[in-house]
């Protein structure tokens, strides 16, 4: 039903998958002339032009997935996304500033020096070029249905990889299939990046525990095929989910082994990855803190603050 189109990105992850069906585009890719040319060429091959696109479905509000949505909306398409994604995409520059203000002092409390914290929280500003803000025309939630080319897509919302990520499940060719965004990827173990709280929430969302729970729930269903946001189709979804969960559990055990005394998240990151360049520090800390969150949820570690720095200790 859906035709996969590989769209180039400037990001380390490589090309992103856009999906086309009838007059619907799912995750059109990042803004930029090369990406736009590739998308227009794919639309032309399908017998339509940008102005013929009626709907743009967004799985999650990351620049490599929604960046071209504004161009398509300007050409007449309606943008469809979750309420949380709509908030982020509607003022992406403002969301960046919100996250920078939240994480700058928090990175210091986790053990990062001031200069590196300033650099790390400023780096995502370069992403703004690839993700112009866009208005969402229809907000959808779990349990809603979107009909594409005569097929009903059931909406499922997950947390962990992004502030909100939608999966679109449907039946085609006798199979249960799902467009899964970046929630399950082949060959790559998704790193649930740290998120600032939204909607006035006081607590930082615990991304990796939520991601693990979401994967477990997804594995309990009988899917035959996943259409992911990067690389090729996943033809054994349960096996792939199992591989990702095993990788997460191995990393959680490795983090637990590093806690031989009061340990900061930066110490954990260094123990896992060594000396990272500034461009990789946020991802590295996301991994370290994510697994500390898992251990804390299992009552295997406790966090305390000493001299303005957060440290974790084993409860064993």
Which residues constitute the domain of residue 137? 3-92+128-245
Question: Between 114 and 191, whose confidence is greater?
Answer: 114
Nearest to 81 by CA among 161, 8, 27: 27
User: Which residue bears the tokens 């398509």?
Assistant: 72
Residue 110 lies in a domain: no
For residue 200, name the pLDDT band (cuts at 50, 70, 90). Answer: low
Residue 206 lies in a domain: yes
Classify each residue of 41-68 as buried b or exposed e, where b means 16 or more C-beta atoms within 10 Å of its C-beta. Answer: ebbeebebebeebebbbbbbbbbbbbbb
Coil, strand or helix at 130: helix
Residue 311 lies in a domain: no
Residue 298 lies in a domain: no
Q: What is the mean pLDDT of residues 73-86?
A: 97
Contact 51, 26 (CB under 8 A): no
Helix ranges restricted to H, the chain: 33-45, 63-66, 69-74, 83-90, 92-109, 114-122, 207-219, 237-258, 265-273, 278-297
- pLDDT of 190 higher than 90: no
Residue 49 lies in a domain: yes
Residue 277 lies in a domain: no
Q: What is the mean pLDDT of residues 117-138?
A: 95
Q: What is the mean pLDDT of residues 47-66?
A: 97
Question: Between 197 and 200, whose confidence is greater?
Answer: 197
Query: What pTM did the predictor assign?
Result: 0.95
**Across the chain, what does the average pLDDT equal?**
95
CATH number at residue 173: 3.60.15.10
Contact 64, 228 (CB under 8 A): no
- pLDDT of 88 higher than 80: yes
Residue 266 lies in a domain: no
> Per 3-state DSSP, what percentage of the chain is helix, strand, and coil (rounded to 5)?
40, 20, 35
Note the pLDDT tens digit of each residue in 219-260: 999 999 999 999 999 999 999 999 999 999 999 999 999 999
For residue 201, name the pLDDT band (cuts at 50, 70, 90). Answer: low
Domains in the chain: how many in total?
Answer: 1
Residue 52 lies in a domain: yes
Nearest to 294 by CA among 254, 241, 239: 254
The total number of residues written for the chain in this structure: 316
Q: What is the mean pLDDT of residues 48-69?
A: 97
Note the pLDDT tens digit of each residue in 144-168: 999 999 999 999 999 888 888 999 9
Count other C-beta atoms under 10 Å from residue 92's C-beta.
21
Report pLDDT for 254. Answer: 98
For residue 202, name the pLDDT band (cuts at 50, 70, 90). Answer: confident
Radius of gyration of the chain (CA): 20
Q: What is the mean pLDDT of residues 12-30?
A: 96
């Amino acid at each position: 039903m859906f035709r996969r189109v590989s769209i180039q990105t400037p990001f380390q992850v490589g090309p992103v998958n856009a999906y086309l069906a009838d007059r619907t585009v799912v995750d059109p890719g990042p803004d930029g002339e090369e990406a736009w040319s590739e998308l227009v060429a794919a639309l032309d091959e399908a017998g339509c032009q940008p102005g013929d696109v009626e709907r743009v479905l967004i799985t999650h509000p990351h620049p490599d997935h929604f960046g071209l949505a504004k161009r398509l909306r300007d050409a007449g398409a309606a943008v469809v996304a979750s309420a949380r994604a709509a908030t982020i995409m509607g003022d992406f520059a403002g969301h960046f500033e919100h996250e920078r203000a939240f994480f700058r002092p928090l990175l210091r409390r986790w053990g990062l020096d001031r200069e590196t914290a300033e650099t790390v929280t400023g780096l995502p500003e370069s992403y703004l070029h690839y993700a112009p803000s866009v208005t969402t025309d229809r907000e959808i939630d779990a349990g809603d249905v979107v009909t594409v080319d005569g097929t009903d897509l059931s909406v499922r919302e997950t947390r962990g990889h992004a502030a909100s990520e939608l999966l679109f499940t449907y039946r085609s060719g006798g199979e249960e299939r799902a467009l899964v965004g970046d929630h399950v990827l082949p060959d790559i173990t998704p790193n649930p990046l740290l998120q600032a709280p939204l909607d006035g929430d006081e607590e930082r969302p615990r991304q990796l525990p939520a991601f693990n729970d979401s994967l477990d729930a997804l594995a309990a269903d009988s899917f035959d095929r996943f259409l992911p946001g990067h690389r090729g189709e996943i033809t054994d979804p349960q096996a792939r989910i199992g591989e990702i969960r095993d990788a997460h559990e191995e990393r959680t055990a490795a983090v637990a082994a590093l806690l031989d005394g009061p340990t900061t998240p930066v110490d954990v990151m260094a123990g896992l990855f060594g000396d990272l360049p500034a461009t990789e520090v946020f991802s590295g800390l996301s991994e370290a803190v994510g697994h500390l969150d898992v251990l804390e949820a299992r009552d295997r570690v406790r966090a305390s603050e000493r001299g303005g720095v957060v440290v974790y200790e084993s409860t064993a």
